[in-house]
Structure 1
Amino acid sequence: MTSPAVDPAPETHPAATELRTAASPAPAARRITGAVWVGLGIVYVVWGSTYLGIRVVVETMPPFLSAGARFVTAGLILMAVVAWRRGPAALKVSRRELASAAVVGLLLLVGGNGLVVLAETSIPSGLAALLVAVVPAWVVLLKAAFGDWPSAGGTAGVLLGLAGLGVLTLPGLSGEIAIGGVVLVVVGALLWALGSFSAGRIPMPASPFTASAYEMVAGGLAGLAVGLFRGEQHGLDLTAVSGRSWAALAYLVVFGSLVAFTAYAWLIQTAPISLVATYAYVNPVVAVALGALILDEALTWSIMLGGAIVVLGVGLIVSTERRG
C-alpha cells in the first residue's frame, strides 16, 4: 500500500524506483511477471481469510482498539525486520514522505479497514468481503478523473462487479441484515481505494516495506485513538477475551498485516493498480467459503449470484491487464 512506481527496479534496489506525482507524465506499462502473480496469490488467499479472522476477533474484542493494536504491533515488527535486514538507515525518510505515509495509513487502515472491522460486528464476514468488491470501481473512477481511461474490457469488468455489488446489497435493503453495516463497508471501500490511488501521486518512501511500516504504525495509532474516543476501553476486560479471539488477532498481525499487507505494498509499486485491485473480487470467494465452513454463515441466493457476477468481472479485468 505504497506509491505506485514507474518502471520500478527490483525491490533489492529501491533507490532506483521512480515515483510519480499527479503532474507527472503517464507511466510506462509495467511488466506482469511471475513474482507479481505470486504476490497476487498471497493477497488473494490470505486477505480473503482475514475477514473470518476479523469476525472472530470482534466476538470478544472492541473493533478499533483491536485493529489499532494489530497494526501498531505489525508496523513495529516490520520496522525491526527492515532495520535488521538493511540497517537502520533504511528507515530514514523525509518529512514529506513520512507525512504522505501517515495520510495513506489513515485512509487505508482507519477509514478502510477500520470501518470494515466495525461493520463486522453486525454483518457476516462473507458479505463484508463481497461488498468490498466496489474497490476496483472506485479506483477506475479515480483514474479516469486524472485522464487515465479504462479499456473496454476493464470497463465491462467493473460494471459487472458493480452489478454483483447491487445484488449483494439487497439483503440490507430488505431488512434481512443491518443496513448500517452495509453502508460502513461501502464507505470503507471508497476510502481504501482513495488511499491506494493517492499513494501513487504523493511523495512516498522508495521502499514499499519502509512505507508499509510507517503506514501501519500511523494507521494503528490513529485506530487506537478512535477506539479511545468511542469509549471502547470502558468495560474492557482482557481476561474475558476468548482464546480464539487472541489467536485470530495473532493471525491478523502475522499473516494479514506483515505478509499480505507487505505483498500488497510491493504489488502497487510494481503491477498495474487495476490488476492489483482485483483482489477485492477474489477475496470474497475465500471469505464466503471460510465463513460458511467455520462460522456457519448462510449462503443465500444473493450471495451466490452476486459472488458469481463479481468473479466474472475479475476475469475480464485480469485478462485486460495482461494484454496491456
Structure 2
Amino acid sequence: MQKPPARWLILAAFIAVYLIWGSSYIGIAFASETIPPFMMMASRLSVAGVALFVLAWRSGAKMPTRRQWRTAVMAGIPMFVLNAGAIAYSEARLGMPSGIAAVLLASMPLWMVLINWLRPGGTPPTGLVIAGIAIGFVGIVLLSAPEAGMPALNPVGVIAILMAAFCWAFGSIYLRGADMPASAPLTTGMQLITGGTGLFIVSLFSGEPAAFDPARVSALSLGATIYLAIFNSFIGFSAYVFLMRHVSPAKVATYAYVNPVVAVILGALLANEPVTLRTVIAGGIILLSVFLITLQRLPRFSRLRLAQAAR
C-alpha cells in the first residue's frame, strides 16, 4: 500500500499552484514587452513540453502511438494555440490588464458546463448551475462595460480572453475518454509540444520573426519567459498533477478562486494596474458563479485538465 505524502508536501503543492499560476498573467505581460507574444508563448510551451516528455521517457513511460499524437494535436490546438495565444496577444497588443484577464478566464467552468450541456448526449445542468451561469454573464458584462474616469477595455481583447476560456473548456471535454498515454507528464508534454509548434507557425505567418530584434529583448522579458517555462508550466503543472493524485478534486479546484486574486494583486503592485470598486464587485460576482457551478458534479474529465494556464 502506497504511503500517503507528508502534509507539508501537499501544502507546498497548493502554494505552488496558487501563487505560480496566479502570477502567470503578470509574467505574460512582462515577457511580451519586448518579445513577440506568439513567439514567447511558443518558446515557453516548447521548452516545458520537451522537458516533461524527456522526463517521462527517462522514467520508463511507454512512447505514444501515432493515434495518440493526433489526439494531442486536436487537444493542443484549442488548449494551447488558441488559449495561450489569445491571452498573450490580448495582454501584449490589445492592452488587456493582467488582473482583468485572470478574472475573465475564471469563467472557464461556465463554458465547460455549457459545452457539456449542449453536446450530443450532454448532461443538463441543475437550476442552481443555471443560476450560476446567469450570474457569471452579469459579472462579465459588468467587468467589461466602460467605467467613468477609467480607460475602456478593448472589446476585442475581452472577446479574445473569453474565447480563450471557451477553448480551454472545449479541449478539456475533448480529452475526456481520449486515447492518450497513461503517463501524465508524457501526455502533457505532448500537448505542450504540439501547442508550442502550432504557436511557432502562427508566429511565422504573423510576421513576428521578421520584426523581431533579439538585441532589444530586455532582461525583464527574458527572465519572465524563463520563469513561465520553468515555474508556471513545469513546476506548476507537476504540483497540480501531484494534488490531483492525493487530494480531492474539490479541494484542488480552489485554485480557480485564488488565482484571479493573486493576479489582480500582482498586477496592481508590479504594473500599477488600476483596481476599482467595480472591478472587485464584478470579480466577486464571477467567482460566485464559479462556486455555484462547481457545486454540480461535472463529468470526469481527463486528469490533465489544467487551469488556465498553462497558462
TM over 0.5: yes
Unaligned runs of 5+ in 2: 3-7, 301-311
Quote the residue 2:115 is aligned against: 142
Q: Counterpart in 2 of 1:81?
A: 55
* Alignment partner of 1:204 is 2:175: no
Which residue does 2:45 correspond to in 1?
Answer: 71
Alignment of 1:275-290 (within 5 A): 279-290=255-266
CA distance in 2: counterparts of 1:304 and 1:97, whole angstroms: 43
Deviations 1:106-125 (A, max 9, x none): 11111111111100012111
Aligned to 1:29: none
Aligned to 2:198: 222
Deviations 1:241-299 (A, max 9, x none): 11011111111001111122344567778989888666444321111110001100001
Aligned residue in 2 for 1:295? 271
Give the C-alpha shift of residue 215 in structure 1.
Answer: 0.3
Q: 2:105 aligns with which of 118, 121, 132?
A: 132
Q: Matches of 2:269 and 2:75 in 1, distance apart?
A: 34
- Range with bigger deviation, 64-73 or 272-281: 272-281
CA contact (8 A) 2:107 2:286 kept: no
- Residues of 2 paired with 1:275 and 1:191: CA distance? 24
How large is the Cα RMSD of the aligned pairs? 3.1
The one-letter code matched in structure 2 to 1:108 is M
- Tell me what 2:85 maps to: 114
Q: Is the 8 A contact 1:212 1:262 kept in 2?
A: no
- Corresponding position of 1:45: 19
> 1:135·1:277 contact (CA, 8 Å) conserved in 2?
no
Whether the aligned pair in 2 keeps the contact of 1:170 and 1:302 (CA below 8 Å) is no
C-alpha displacement at 1:188, in angstroms? 1.3
Structure 2 Cα separation of the partners of residues 265 and 115 of structure 1: 25
The offset of 1:73, in angstroms, is 0.6
Amino acid at match of 2:106: A
Percent of pairs identical after alignment?
A: 35
Aligned residues of 1:132 and 1:280 also touching (Cα < 8 A): no
CA contact (8 A) 1:100 1:202 kept: yes
Structure 1, unpaired ranges of 5+: 1-9, 11-33
User: Does residue 140 of structure 2 align to residue 165 of structure 1?
Assistant: yes
**What per-residue deviation string (whole Å, max 9, x for no partner) do you get for residues 137-169 of structure 1?**
110012223332334444444433332222111
Q: 1:97 to 1:270 in 2, by over 3 A?
A: farther
Out of 76, 81, 96, which is 2:67 matched to? 96
**2:211 counterpart residue number:** 235
